[in-house]
Chain A
């Protein structure tokens, strides 16, 4: 249903395809990223504080494979495929040695990895372009002509192409997640989250399961990164993939409801939507009505953005500690006795 509305919306409201279309596309990309994180945090119960680095690695790999600066310049689709696989590989490489760490120690390892990745991207200027980033990332379909339609040019000019590409990718990832939830692996993930020892006693290899979670999470984040770089036509600079972003996505996943697909999507819509849609809109509204002629920060919306944001997080957690749309399993669990620390 929602999908149909989202698919038709830009056709009915041409304006949506433009200004807001760009923002909604970004929103979809964050949804994909958050769904990736949800595999780790939601299903498997491993706190991950460095998801943005995999997002960034995906973006940079795509850029390296497509920008004119490098000799590869393979098309968007093969580049995305390679980038996603490679990101999954890097996820495995990080996961393998660190799996025996307990929850919060693993969290700090992922945080540390995020910082290392950011600094490395920034400093390896010959490869990553440093703070300039890699650009221009050609639009998907550059050089491909279908029925007289130059796809690359269409992507560059009409944001609706990206809108649909992002929407289709998101739909694909949602579908994948649905399948995962019902699959053997999906149930194994949850079993490991609930009780690792019991799961192992049942013949589940916790190591394999956690590694799969790591790989899937990284791969999906990498996919989001590819879309992100392509839609901005640049990797942006490494600061775009810092701890702040990881935290934001993590908040979205928890706020929406751990392990819940609709919850995750709602969480992203609220948090990212607040920063990229509501806040700028409110600010320009205040300006247009000239409420704040002196330009005092106390009277501008942006002056209060952080506090509103923070308060929202606190209040949601206070009144809906399992998230806005908790997964059924989580909701049931909450009524049982909480586990001791």
Chain B
């Protein structure tokens, strides 16, 4: 079976776009919304780009046994995409950890990789991750990776600035011990210390644990103004909020965009978040999108009968970048397509006008703070980099923007 598909020579009229997202297990809900976004972008182009017919393949990088993404499944997807001469773009991954597996593989074939959700800084930004990043992901020395979502170097620190402006003096920081959650919590932690906010504690939870009552009793004993959780809905954001209420912790809760989905509110119980939970999000929430984004939200509503989740638009945008790059290149030459994508400097996208910088990061650096009210995310305010609290002299080197 495999042999037959893999041995088939390239079809000159066909381009394939694949996505590699966790389609089984706990992240399925978010990947569903991303896939809907991708499909809508392709449908909108009527399944064609330039002279080519577009076929979309929705690959799964999780396994039933693991219930989440696995390195093998991600590596297998990357190899499979690389091997199929019709594949011209690879949309993924969802988890930053998975990107670390597939980036070096896809790089060998110059296959364009656009992530709608990776936010770990080390994937693209030199000097901000572990030593050797991001070069280790580029064995050929050339680039092939871009992301349409802002990285965490903005979100973590700006959340801290926002907290200070709100008058927060003492914080307790928790994270889920994963690449994304811990990364963003560490950045938040660092910025808090710079700004003179007292960090009462910083602990990691086990995302497989079922309750955090003891932990919350410890948090309560330190009397924080704000509890920050670096993590996602899948890594028990909802349960933390619940146990926080049950333990009688009076502080406000702040979470990053990994929790910006309705499932988070549902899993936490709306009453436990009401008016006390703030979510930072890279970009505008769906209800605030205008222009192309507004049209997308409109069509999504017509098609699926509900407002899109915050991430859907990133799936849509990533697919549009891929389609745009294939159209610009006008051929199935992978290098040309990749160059066309990375060369985007001004893109009239659903997220507004933005481009990729020299690292493959989006130039869009709008952050919003949203609050949970009446069981929904409500837009609270836009954060601009310019709004950062005046720099303490000692911290010049840690300013987020390079």
Contacts and interface: CB of A to CB of B under 8 A. Distances in A.
Contacts of B70: 236, 240
A177 B73 CA distance: 29
Contact of A20 (B2, B32, B67): B2
Interface in A163-179: none
A24 to B, nearest CB: 10
A123 B76 CA distance: 28
A302 B58 contact: no
B71 A281 contact: no
B193 to A, nearest CB: 18
12 contacts: A13-B7, A18-B6, A18-B82, A23-B72, A68-B132, A131-B182, A133-B97, A232-B72, A237-B71, A279-B60, A280-B80, A302-B60
Contact of B204 (A123, A132, A280): A123
A206 interface: no
B106 to A, nearest CB: 13
A19 B79 contact: yes
Contacts of B136: 135-136
B332 interface: no
Contacts of A135: 100, 136
A131 B57 contact: no
A239 interface: yes
Given A19-B6, A22-B75, A129 B108 contact: no
B84 interface: yes
A130 B204 CA distance: 11
B76 A23 contact: yes
A194 B273 CA distance: 59
A109 interface: no
Given A132-B130, A232-B75, A248-B65, A15 B100 contact: no
A156 B84 contact: no
A287 B206 CA distance: 35
B71 A18 contact: no
Q: Is the interface of A mostly helix, strand, loop or mixed?
A: helix
Given A15-B7, A305-B64, A132 B97 contact: yes
B319 interface: no
B80 A19 contact: yes
A104 B100 CA distance: 39
B73 to A, nearest CB: 7
Given A123-B177, A132-B100, 14 more contacts: A15-B3, A21-B79, A23-B72, A68-B131, A68-B132, A132-B97, A275-B64, A279-B63, A281-B1, A283-B59, A284-B58, A288-B57, A302-B60, A309-B65
A279 B7 CA distance: 20
Interface in A44-100: 68-69
Nearest to A236: B71
Contacts of B65: 244-245, 248, 275, 309
Interface of A: 13, 15-16, 18-23, 26, 68-69, 119, 122-123, 129-133, 135-136, 156-157, 159, 232-234, 236-237, 239-240, 244-245, 248, 275-277, 279-281, 283-284, 287-288, 295, 297, 302, 305-306, 309
Interface of B: 1-3, 6-7, 23-24, 28, 32, 35-36, 55, 57-60, 63-68, 70-73, 75-77, 79-80, 82-84, 97, 100-101, 104, 108, 130-132, 136, 139, 177-179, 182, 204, 206
Nearest to B55: A288
Contacts of A13: 3, 7
A98 B265 CA distance: 46
A310 B26 CA distance: 19
B228 to A, nearest CB: 18
Contact of A240 (B60, B71, B104): B71
A20 B60 contact: no
B79 A18 contact: yes
A280 B64 contact: no
A275 B66 CA distance: 10
Contacts of A136: 104, 132, 136
Instruction: Name the residue in A13, A131, A157 with the highest tally of chain B Cβ atoms < 10 Å from its Cβ.
Output: A131
A130 B84 CA distance: 34
B83 A18 contact: yes
Contacts of A68: 131-132
B102 to A, nearest CB: 11
Nearest to A283: B60
A15 B108 contact: no
A162 to B, nearest CB: 11
A19 B66 CA distance: 21
A90 to B, nearest CB: 23
B84 A19 contact: yes
B57 A302 contact: no
A136 to B, nearest CB: 5
Contacts of A15: 2-3, 6-7, 83
B35 to A, nearest CB: 7
A20 B6 contact: yes
